[in-house]
Amino acid sequence: MPKGYVIGRATVTNPEAWGQYAAKASEAIKKYGGNPIVRGGKHEIVEGEGVARNVVIEFASFEAARAYAHSPEYAAAKKLRQGAGTLDFVIVEGAS
Domain that holds residue 62: 4-44+51-93
Residue-level pLDDT at 40: 85
Residue-level pLDDT at 41: 87
Is the pLDDT score of 96 beyond 90? no
pTM score, whole prediction: 0.92
Task: For residue 29, give the CATH number of its domain.
Answer: 3.30.70.100
Residue-level pLDDT at 29: 98
Residues 32-81 have pLDDT tens digits of 999 999 998 899 999 998 998 999 999 999 999 999 999 999 999 999 99
> Is the sign of the CA dihedral 48, 54, 59, 62 positive or negative?
negative
Based on the structure, what is the number of domains in the chain? 1
Backbone φ, ψ for residue 34 (5° rounding): -80, 155
